Each structure stands twice: as structure tokens, then as C-alpha cells.
Amino acid sequence: MTSDYERFPVGRGEIALGDCLTVLRGLPDGAATLAVTSPPYHNAINYEQHAQTLAGEKERWGRIEIQYDEYRQFLMERFKELLRVVAPGGYNVVNIAPVSWQGRRVPLPFHFVGWMEELGWAFREDIVWEKTVARDRRSGVLLQHPYPGYYYPSLVAEYVFVFQRPGERRDRSNIYWHRSDADRAGNEIDLSDYQGEKSKNVWRFRPVAPQENIHPCPYPLELVERVVEFYSYRGDLVVDIFAGSGQTNVAAEKLGRRHLGIDIMREYADYAVSRVRDVSREADSETVETSPAAPGATRDAQRDEADSETVAGDQPTPATS
């Protein structure tokens, strides 16, 4: 039996090359604790053409026309399957922004919340990602036409929505209700800088510069690191169904989580694998340089290696297509 996707184990997790709907259907119920992603922008980027420019096969990439209803169906099919894969009480964090389509600004994030609730996801938090460096110049319209009706603010923010799969019981709505005191102590979050920006629902991060990443629209690594830290424990499985350059995988690897990133573009998947591999090697070298081998260290390393072979339990590795 063959599969329509390929798997590339790396570090504590893996990158899957293929349609995320196909990959998700191969995962068991409740496999993941946390999902983090940013869906493809509607009508904004032709990712296939962008990948061709990276390979030198095309000089420029452009937009791709997709009907809004078709885009909605595409997202709902995948987030419906993701609801099954995330454990009851687990979280799904989505970065999304309004889009321009047919000459108007479409409130995609607000439509998206309704779509998610229709699927069974419970809305929990709305966080605004404020970009500290903005290239948008819409506000200049009012300078040219200083009259009522010409105000177009510069677009310097996107939304980060937090959804949750409802728990099986009301008193167990939080996926962490069963954690031991030792487990909690080992995952205590450093709150020394919590009373500043971090405690509010407006997070300020610089967007990723084009020369820092081959993907056309990655979210900041610092943003996803915060999400992973706030909504998962070490060893939990974190899934990104639109992984792109692997920002979620890199953050999860750095923070000691298992991870599964899924993307349909080979150029992005290869890049994500190389980035996670670099993080894993760096962590290994730091351990060797700073810590002498402790009794049982070899056994622990073997256990970590076994964990990295599969991100969803003892599932057989499907053959590549």
C-alpha cells in the first residue's frame, strides 16, 4: 500500500511532504496536544510559482485566483480533520489576517471564527500581532486627500486566534488537568517579564525580513515560541498543517516538544528539514560541551531517538509515493 506523502524524521519530530488532509487522516484520534499554523493567504500568493522562482525556473511570482467559497471549503475540510487529531481539551492557534479580493477588503478572520465554531472548535482568545516594522503606506491617502472618507490606516497587525477542542467533561476542559505536580514543576513558565507586553493580548514582534527566510510570509519565530510555551508541555506533540519554512517545528524542537510539520511544497519541506536539523545539532553540541555524561544518559538518548521516529504513537511509516 502506498501513500500520497513522504515523511522526513528530523530531531524530535518530522516534516511530511503532501496534502495535510491526507496526512491528518493517517493520524490517530487525539494524537496532538497543540496545533499552530497560518493558513495560505487567499488570492495573495501563488506558492507554486514562488517555489519556481527559488529554483530559478521563473523570474517572478504572482497572485492566484481562488473563489472565496472554494477557499472556505479547503480550510474547513482540513480544520475539521484537525479537530479529530487534537486531543480533547487541546488547543489550535491560528494566525490569520483580512485579505483584499475583487477590490475590497474582506474580513477573513471574522468569517474564520464562525467557520471554526461551526466545526466544533471553541473560541478562546483573540490576540493581535502588531508588527513593529511596517511597510504598508495606506495612511498616506489621507495626506493627499485630507477630507472625510479618505482614511485608510496602514496595515500593521494580524490576528492570532486561540481555539480549543472541548473537553470530554466540564471539569476536564483543560487538557492539563491530569498533569502531576512534578510535571507542572518541570514546565513552569518564567514570568519575570510577564507584566509587560506578554500579559496583554497585543503582542509586538518584528516581521521576518525577506533575506531571513525563503518563505514569502513566515510568522516570527518568537511568536510561535511563545504559543508553544503557553499551550504545551515538553514532550507533547505540536502539529502545523501548513508548515511552510518550519517555524513551528523549529520552535517546538528548541522547546523540547515533539512536532509534525506538513507542507505540499518540496522546496519548503526541504528547507524546514535543514533548519530543524541545525537546531537539533546545535542543542546536541551544547549538551556535549556543557554537561558530562550522566548515568543513564545513553538510555535517555536512545529513548529520545525512538520518540523522533514517530510523532503520533506507534504508527507504521507509510511508503512514499
| Host H or E run for residue 94 | strand 86-96
Average pLDDT over residues 17-42: 94
Alpha-carbon gap, residue 250 to 273, rounded angstroms: 9
Residue 78 predicted with pLDDT over 80: yes
Average pLDDT, stretch 261-270? 93
Q: What is the mean pLDDT of the chain?
A: 84
Measured CA to CA, the distance from residue 243 to residue 271 in angstroms comes to 11
pLDDT at 152: 92
* 181-216: pLDDT as tens digits: 999 999 999 999 998 889 999 999 998 878 777 777
* Res 300: pLDDT: 41
Structural domain spans, the chain: 6-309
Other CB atoms within 10 A of residue 29 CB:
9
Query: What pLDDT is recorded for position 127?
Result: 98
Instruction: Give the global pTM.
Output: 0.84
pLDDT at 10: 96
Mean of the pLDDT values across residues 232-257? Answer: 96
Q: How confident is the model at residue 61 (pLDDT cuts 50, 70, 90)?
A: very low
Per-residue pLDDT, 209: 79
Bigger pLDDT: 177 vs 80: 80
- Tell me what pLDDT residue 217 has: 79
**Average pLDDT of the residues in 130-153:** 90
Model pLDDT for residues 171-181, shown as the tens digit of each residue: 777 777 788 99
Q: Are 24 and 85 in contact (CB under 8 A)?
A: yes
- Distance CA(57)–CA(51), nearest Å, equals 9
Q: Which residues, at least 6 apart from 203, have a Cβ–Cβ distance to it below 8 Å?
A: 127, 128, 129, 130, 160, 197, 223, 226
Query: What CATH number is given for 6-309 in this structure?
Result: 3.40.50.150
Span 246-272, average pLDDT: 95
